[in-house]
Structure 1
């Protein structure tokens, strides 16, 4: 049986039948691990089962358990997905992936791009419309893969008894899921016309945090070649790992709260009843989160990076120019804006006013967002600096492309802004990647620019290509590529403010953007960036 042209392929587990859309062959709902249910709950993922005959791979499989609202008009998670409108249901049995391939034959050996969705490690999925791979695979010769992985409680629960049965570790199951997906891709992607020696793993926001952990983990050595970290640097970032001991203590308290006597009993309880109890008792979707578990993440992230113990992957990392929007629609009073600048940056008040001028409430709102986002960029700069120090390649970007509307220019380039362009989601991206926005020429031009960069990075580890605007590898201070309508490397003049921030952060000061998000402003607070 052979029929690559008809979207029929054979993987290690058996035959798959996908479907075609234009030049792209699409395969959905492929199991990359055994269902993590029953005795496999709170364990590392195990191999998927085999099947005989031809498995239909034409519909998405379930996404991971997470908060699902009854009202389809409600935005139900930190990623902004109206989940009742998602093209799949939500179940504990969720370890599936999807493949889009433009290959003409199984021997094409195209570069592979694996997408790790965002959502703060508590929400989202690889079946969301925003990461549909057809718009990328259909325009560039690369195989696109999206994955689901365990989230929140089921992805990060830890307990001393689990640590005992797990050879000294528990928690971080989500990261083991992602690793398992990467192993499946490495073993099977040739059947789809992909190259197992040119695998890039990319993630945005919470997914970027996960990809940052992959970059640091010794368990990823030899599996992939490159990582793309989008709006989620761990260095001086917003999502830092806890200790395993802290997660274990939380696990003990949770079992006491639900009157559960053992892990064995916990594995027998209904998944959704457990999740509902978790939400009611803990009241924080990130109560269980990732930790320094001693194995997947063997040490504090910063120590691994600063000692050069990270993987020899090519790195592309960056964020958007206005990640976090403060206040309400009315903006921020200029007087309050200037007061906050004086409080947070007392040694640079006049310079801050020059770097971030604001004459109106709307301008103050945008500039406050820009300050926090520029601080976020410093985590990317620090990672790139360490890559260069230890002889590895890194490329840093800052996206300032705005929607070509009055509202777009008022609000700037927000969290997730690159996603519609990377995935070729034409006419999407009004303040978040899900909403409609009528593209104009600048948007089509920017899609071509950014897809070329992402493709060439996946293809050879260098986003730059002949005829494209220059994007240098990070070698000198603040070698950052500005991605927008005028792409360019950061000028000396533009670098001045970053040198100021970098000096403060390197001296050990508390990350000011954290304070901006946690304390907020008197005019209604600063939104936490959706992770």
Structure 2
């Protein structure tokens, strides 16, 4: 007991050593991780109480304390979602483990190479994608060891998704105390960032040098956090890979509540209390009608584009971009004639202008244009609009285009520079993906992870042994092309993106 008390006091004084690794004091008690090649790894750290039973669809609550030393060597459960299976361009390395998947999911992970709590290393907080319907921090390509070896502290977090993370209802709004409901997934992210502020010093991290980063829905989350007044002061920099929310308006609270009422009726629940008693599997399998964040008046008080236009967002240095192929369509692939008809039906007299930018004179051209239009609508124009807003307000922004055609077997090589393909390069995690990597891929991973490391450390991706990455401005629109050759260039389709933004902005 005396030894335990002495250890506890040493931890409180910030004198702990990570050579063991020693137990670390966090919210709730002491934790013990594992050591691998001088990196201390702590997995499955609870940052909030399990959001189950009466806590389903509530803001994250304080973590439940534990006695003794909690062993944190395994990832916590992934959020409730369908069981993962490889599909389209995503092999199993891009997916969560098959088990465990549970409603009790509010856990995070820390990788650190710090030898003392006084080092104050820069911190990256990673937010996964998955369309706000899936994903989790245990995905292999999100491993933080490689970046921790480069000198940062890598944190990955879980948040609720689907019907558990983004469900609104009048009863929930009434009980919340904030006259809002629905954005529980974003609340989880904010709670995790507050955990980082309170605890990261004990891992050798600097709470004043936090960068939030995400891809796809994770990137959209980063955009929402930068816009949210509830996330003020929790980070200084942002990395947003393929995703933002500038021309895709979120539903209002009233719309989300209406969908929530229908959802409750479909499950034959007469009250919120009854709905909270329904099995998680029943909640998962029922269509709630909406997905992702809403304009709840609290986490997101206004549309994100409007928040940026009125300079109300949290100021950050920004690194952002998207991929050459992405590979996602909004609907079925159409024949050239049907595609032309669709554009005229969708955009009226502007159909001719769309066909100039996304032509369809033959089937091959029509196929290419449909993929490029989908890429630009879902991703390109969103990150382009954010970069422009950032530049106009005098805040630093660096823009990339990932163009490397990711190698693969015949089944996967056809997807090229696909959606999520850049993540393993950016965080130096090619070793986690079973692909026929070439020397050019390892070179690109070295360069990209160096850019990301430099940005996390200084707010600028430039440094030694990497090509110069110019600051993006609305005047010259210079970006970095991350391909087989890494080079600075003028954004090649800026005119097309500007046209698209003007036609679809709300």
Q: Deviations over 1:199-242 (max 9, x none)?
A: 111111111111110010011111111111111121235xx411
Describe the SS at the equivalent of 2:195: helix
Residue 69 (structure 2) pairs with residue 66 (structure 1): no
Residue 383 of structure 1 and its aligned partner are, at CA, apart by 1.2
Structure 1 partner of 2:277: 268
Task: Specify which of 33, 47, 57 is matched with residue 18 of structure 1.
Answer: 33
Structure 2 partner of 1:468: 466
Structure 2 partner of 1:137: 148
Contact 2:168 2:256 in 1 (8 A): yes
Q: How does 1:375-394 map to 2 (within 5 A)?
A: 376-394=379-397
Contact 2:95 2:139 in 1 (8 A): no
Q: Distance in 1 between matches of 2:305 and 2:505?
A: 15
Residue 94 (structure 2) pairs with residue 94 (structure 1): no
Q: Distance in 1 between matches of 2:408 and 2:143?
A: 25
Structure 1 partner of 2:49: 34
Q: What are the ranges of 5 or more consecutive residues in structure 2 without an aligned counterpart? A: 1-6, 8-15
Of 86-95 and 199-208, the range deviating more from structure 2: 86-95
Q: Kindly tell me: are residues 351 and 416 of structure 1, through their superposed partners in 2, closer, same or farther at Cα, counting changes over 3 Å?
A: closer
Residue 20 of structure 1 and its aligned partner are, at CA, apart by 0.8
Residue 499 (structure 2) pairs with residue 499 (structure 1): no
Q: Distance in 1 between matches of 2:78 and 2:45?
A: 12
Describe the SS at the equivalent of 1:137: helix
Residue 143 of structure 1 and its aligned partner are, at CA, apart by 0.8
Q: Kindly tell me: are residues 368 and 260 of structure 1, through their superposed partners in 2, closer, same or farther at Cα, counting changes over 3 Å?
A: closer
Task: Specify which of 398, 403, 418 is matched with residue 414 of structure 1.
Answer: 418
Q: Kindly tell me: are residues 20 and 352 of structure 1, through their superposed partners in 2, closer, same or farther at Cα, counting changes over 3 Å?
A: same
Residue 463 of structure 1 and its aligned partner are, at CA, apart by 1.2
Task: Specify which of 368, 371, 377 is matched with residue 369 of structure 1.
Answer: 371
Structure 2 partner of 1:440: 438
Q: How does 1:177-326 map to 2 (within 5 A)?
A: 177-236=188-247, 240-276=249-285, 278-279=286-287, 282=288, 287-324=290-327
Describe the SS at the equivalent of 1:292: coil
Structure 1 partner of 2:72: 57
Contact 1:68 1:84 in 2 (8 A): no
Q: Distance in 2 between matches of 1:143 and 1:254?
A: 41
Query: What TM-score do you get using the length of structure 2 for normalisation?
Result: 0.86
Describe the SS at the equivalent of 2:430: coil
Q: What are the ranges of 5 or more consecutive residues in structure 1 without an aligned counterpart? A: 430-435, 512-531
Structure 1 partner of 2:455: 457
* Matched length: 482
Contact 2:94 2:141 in 1 (8 A): no
Residue 418 of structure 1 and its aligned partner are, at CA, apart by 0.7
Contact 1:76 1:83 in 2 (8 A): no
Residue 158 (structure 2) pairs with residue 160 (structure 1): no
Query: What TM-score do you get using the length of structure 1 for normalisation?
Result: 0.82
Residue 401 of structure 1 and its aligned partner are, at CA, apart by 1.2
Q: Distance in 2 between matches of 1:336 and 1:259?
A: 42
Q: Distance in 1 between matches of 2:274 and 2:133?
A: 24
Describe the SS at the equivalent of 2:398: strand
Contact 1:79 1:118 in 2 (8 A): no
Q: Deviations over 1:27-54 (max 9, x none)?
A: 0110001111122111100111222311
Residue 364 of structure 1 and its aligned partner are, at CA, apart by 6.5
Q: Kindly tell me: are residues 112 and 94 of structure 1, through their superposed partners in 2, closer, same or farther at Cα, counting changes over 3 Å?
A: same
Q: Distance in 1 between matches of 2:251 and 2:480?
A: 32
Task: Specify which of 102, 116, 119 is matched with residue 108 of structure 1.
Answer: 119
Q: Distance in 2 between matches of 1:327 and 1:398?
A: 21
Q: How does 1:513-528 map to 2 (within 5 A)?
A: none
Q: Distance in 1 between matches of 2:93 and 2:440?
A: 29
Q: Distance in 2 between matches of 1:332 and 1:271?
A: 38
Describe the SS at the equivalent of 1:289: coil
Root-mean-square deviation (CA, aligned residues, Å) is: 3.1
Q: Kindly tell me: are residues 498 and 374 of structure 1, through their superposed partners in 2, closer, same or farther at Cα, counting changes over 3 Å?
A: farther
Residue 7 (structure 2) pairs with residue 7 (structure 1): no
Residue 389 of structure 1 and its aligned partner are, at CA, apart by 2.1
Q: Kindly tell me: are residues 332 and 424 of structure 1, through their superposed partners in 2, closer, same or farther at Cα, counting changes over 3 Å?
A: farther
Residue 307 of structure 1 and its aligned partner are, at CA, apart by 1.2
